Amino acid sequence: MGVFKRIFELALEQGIATADQVHRPERLPTDEEFLLVHDADYLRAFSDCSLDEERVRRIGFGAVTRTPTLVRRTKAEVAGTLLTARLALRHGLAVNTAGGTHHAFPTFGSGFCILNDLAVTTELLLAEGGVQRVLILDLDVHQGDGTAVCFQDRREVFTLSVHAASNFPARKQRSTLDLALPDNTADDAYLATVGSVLPDVLRNFKPDLVLYDAGVDPHVSDALGRLALTDAGLARRERLVLDTCLAFEIPVAGYVGGGYDEDLTVLAERHLHLHRAAAELWEAYGLGA
């Protein structure tokens, strides 16, 4: 979790973002908003710090899961994801320093994900009527299984997951479109896959908004990844995704997703490829004008 703070610090230190470009949520989502996705008993148990041992084990954080600090941090992350989506709808592009809890299911958490920020945000925006169709593009190395379950058979939401075939979760769920890549897939093959499918999905599905989970765990040095992207490959991926969405005049909100390294600065630098690409394209498309 410390990596979120480090991303923020480095973005300011390196001039990728300025203080006046930073936005913070004004409130946490309400229970009613979380209940658009999550089961009432699960939400209550998490909020009351009374989750049973099996649910705590499945999430992966251990005893800290049952603490008010983690409850607030988890809900704040969802608030940040929603704010990022609203900013993208207003300006065309926005990126977060957190987000992408795609392993959270309606009734339980999994894989270090407790509440599904992408799903809650999507349901809220659809309920408000501001969007009619949402594409959730998940390029984390692990399949977005929780998100897939949240939106199975929902025509308003297209879930696209490009992930390592032989990685967590062992039991994959059914996204609208799943592209499972073999171990050690490197930059050119990976980018060719994304670059061939994304324009077709945008052209045919015509989303009003793209929520982009930009997990950096496809990196060759990631502790839990099985793919082989380089830093240059990640940088190319972020620019490819954001530029493609903007070229189609579709607002895009980016989230950092997964990534695992003992050195938080090294990990934060990988995530910052997203923010750097966003800053460059913000200027290129004149979004701040």
Cβ neighbours, 10 Å, residue 231: 16
Compute the distance between CA of residue 256 and CA of residue 98 in angstroms, rounded to an integer: 5
Query: What pLDDT, in 10s, does the model give residues 234-285?
Result: 999 999 999 999 999 999 999 999 999 999 999 999 999 999 999 999 999 9
Q: How confident is the model over 58-86, as a mean pLDDT?
A: 97
Compute the distance between CA of residue 168 and CA of residue 161 in angstroms, rounded to an integer: 13
Q: How confident is the model over 69-79, as a mean pLDDT?
A: 98
Compute the distance between CA of residue 256 and CA of residue 95 in angstroms, rounded to an integer: 8
> What percentage of the chain reaches a pLDDT higher than 90?
97
Query: What pLDDT, in 10s, does the model give residues 116-156?
Result: 999 999 999 999 999 999 999 999 999 999 999 999 989 99
C-alpha dist (Å) from residue 166 to 91, 183, 190, 237: 38, 7, 15, 21
SS3 per residue for 187-206? HHHHHHHHHHHHHHHHHHHC
Compute the distance between CA of residue 275 and CA of residue 270 in angstroms, rounded to an integer: 10
Is residue 73 exposed (0-12), middle (13-18) or buried (19+ Cβ within 10 Å)? Answer: middle
Cβ atoms of 89 and 134 closer than 8 Å = no
Q: What's the farthest any 2 CA atoms get from each other in the chain?
A: 52
CATH topology of domain 2-26+77-284: Arginase; Chain A (3.40.800)
Q: How confident is the model over 50-77, as a mean pLDDT?
A: 96
Q: How confident is the model at residue 288 (pLDDT cuts 50, 70, 90)?
A: confident
Cβ atoms of 265 and 225 closer than 8 Å = no
Please say if 103 is a catalytic residue: yes
Compute the distance between CA of residue 124 and CA of residue 115 in angstroms, rounded to an integer: 14
- Parse the chain into domains and list their residue ranges: 2-26+77-284
Compute the distance between CA of residue 177 and CA of residue 190 in angstroms, rounded to an integer: 16
SS3 211: strand
Query: What pLDDT, in 10s, does the model give residues 149-177?
Result: 999 989 999 999 999 999 999 899 999 99
pTM for this model (two decimals): 0.97
Annotated catalytic residue: which of 103, 142, 219, 275?
103
- Whether the CA torsion 107, 113, 114, 115 is positive or negative: it is negative
Q: Smallest Cα–Cα separation from 133: which of 239, 248, 24, 26?
A: 248
Is residue 89 exposed (0-12), middle (13-18) or buried (19+ Cβ within 10 Å)? Answer: middle
